[in-house]
Amino acid sequence: MSDWMTRLKTWWSRAISISKGDAFLCDSCKWNYGSICTRPERPNAKKCPDYTGKG
């Protein structure tokens, strides 16, 4: 499968997960790198008081 097709399928799957509300917050949190976030829910948090988008 071509690289662009793989990226398209990954993006589409992610968009569906976000629209359903079952995506993990850690994937889009600015604190999700190295040892910055020490929460036990990481990397599969669906609710987090420290969540801040990467925007």
Q: Residue 1 above 70 pLDDT?
A: no
**2 inside domain:** no
1-25 average pLDDT score: 77
Whether the model pTM is above 0.85: no
Domain around 44: 23-55
Q: Residue 40 above 90 pLDDT?
A: yes
Terminal-residue alpha carbon distance, the chain:
31
**28 inside domain:** yes
- Collapsed DSSP state (helix, strand, coil) of residue 29: strand
Contact 38, 15 (CB under 8 A): no
**8 inside domain:** no
Instruction: Give the CA distances from residue 43 to residues 2, 16, 20, 37, 52, in Å, rounded to whole numbers and listed in that order.
Output: 29, 19, 19, 9, 14
6-30 average pLDDT score: 80
Report the number of distinct structural domains present in the chain. Answer: 1
**3 inside domain:** no
